[in-house]
Structure 1
Amino acid sequence: MELTLRKEKILSSVVTEFLKSGEPVGSKVIAEEIGVSSATVRNEMSGLTEMGLLEQPHTSAGRVPSQKGYREFVDRLMEVPSLTPEEKRLIDAKLAPVLYDTEQLLVRTVELAASISRCAAAVTTPGGAGARVRAIQLVQTSRRTAMLLMMSSTGTMKNRIFRCDYDLTTDILRVFFRAFNERIAGKKVSDITPAFLQSLGASLGEMYALVGAPLRALLEAAHDTARTEMLLGGQMNLLFYPEIEPRNARNILGLLENKEEFSMLLRQKPGKVTTMIGRECGRPELDTVSMMVSRYTIDRQDAGAVAVVGPVRMDYPRLTAVLEYLTDTLSAQLTQLTGDN
């Protein structure tokens, strides 16, 4: 059966009305909206049901979209609205106090995604083995201890305190600073291996005996930089949707808390928002919900993702606009921060 223009209009109207009300949509509502008779709408709805795009929960009830119907709506029928200037100002105002703190900016982003969507939200941090070291700093904290700070191309800053069995001096720290930045700045964090650091230490000649503790701190900071982490927010929002049964909600929350497994689902292509509906998510725990993922970049390089997980009855058009704005803002600000370092 062919999906005619009128069927497309009716399907789009059913999805839009169901997103608003959560109740099965009757033919009378659609007839008034698109200007045809109720009998015509009922006939077209029957055809859409045969095509698997609509479902009829009860014999006398109206229709609701199927997962296949939502897919058709998202791919071909929905119109993504532009956020109003007021909506953009509200988001900007929430982000403004943390714009120059990478970690807090990501925390605030996941909080905003959860509160606006009224769903669970996740943000993956910049990182990965492809991140490069921008600079190393050393700050003395006591007679025999110092802090090593590693700044990366993805905007992260990792630190490690190390303790030496000798008194540190400004001259010693200066030698470490120069050697580390000359040999390490610009390298991928995945290249900073024990063998590489042993070679670096050996190149310091008679200073080799003094460099063990800072080299261990350097290796730990590199490992931390290479590790992608995930921030979660709004998980409890899922408990307020009647269509997500308690048992399903527990399974979903369990998957979200398994951050390593869940983060693998967020590795979508950079660019426009990716929407996965129900079984498309690829995990049985998510068969009854949908997930929307938008990736952000740093200096045009893929860096991480912002995602929301919620009922299949999501406001896909508006959330697409929100996620696009959040990731565009995040990309611009993180690119600026890394450029300023």
Structure 2
Amino acid sequence: MHTDFILRGLGRHAPDRILTNADLETMVETSDEWITTRTGIRQRHIVSPGEGCTDLAYGAAKMALKDAGIEADDLTHILLATYTSDYVIPQGACVLEEKLGVKGKIALDVSAACSGFLFALETARGFVALDRNAKVLVVASEVNTHRANFTDRATCVLFGDAAGAVVVTAGDPEDGPRVLDVKLGTDGGLGDLLTVKGGGSMSTYKEGEPVRDDYFIQMQGREVYKHAVRNMTGVCKEILERNNLSVDDVNVLLPHQANLRIIEAVGKKLGVPEEKVYVNVDRYGNTSAASVPLALSEARDNGFIKKGDLVLLTTFGGGFTWGAALVRF
């Protein structure tokens, strides 16, 4: 039996604290002009001391649940896409479940770096396909700044902290935005181009040992740029072809907000006019897995996405991981 996968509610949350390019000028050898020219980023939201991944996730989740008209206890599944969970154990989805005041749900983390939201969305579609009564909360939340090396100007200027969320259920097209298709891919052979290794079982620390550089985000920027543009462009073309659609059918292109130059390159290669491409990287920076759902919620609420629009989502992340999704609003 055919199942329509509905986004019943959308939500987002960013911490109150803001780090501007001018602030970064006092912390590392850089300038507002250097950052803006190369990345398009002017500011980013960052957590305050004592504020963690699941705090941001909770804010986005509450907004999505309210938007969906669903109580937390009505949920059957809680998925948290992140690589910056509060702890190794307990997993972040379980911590979020507790913060939502519910118990006994299927709660698990999904790790696919910046592509985490789309990987979690496809996981949610699987749960709903198995049980049409399932109500799945999908949250993507990242505290990237805790894994950013603020002595490395090539990486620390890029990242911010935030969360985005959706509630996925079965339903009819009139019940809300409909997820038409999701297409994902990976290439582990390129994993060493973008890494966060420190603290893993192959890069351990002993008590009292200083934190090494590999604890922080490390990447070969030029190579990552090349593969990000190539793979996001490719997967967008593939998902459109698979659904007998063309670029002309797309009303909004919403890419992972990694870097304005990547966003512009993907739009240009696909042939999508600039006015159809949603951009908020200037205000949030790269929020990793949170990037796409944060932008999706914001774009709907500010009217950039309108009822009836076909929205093409695409992302790329460490691993390497990438994906695209088609959503009809």
**TM-score, structure 1 as length reference:** 0.26
Tell me: higher relative CO, structure 1 or 2? Use CA pairs within 8 A at least 6 residues apart: 2
Structure showing the higher helix proportion among its residues: 1
Find the structure with the greater CA-based Rg.
1
**TM-score, structure 2 as length reference:** 0.26
Structure showing the higher strand proportion among its residues: 2
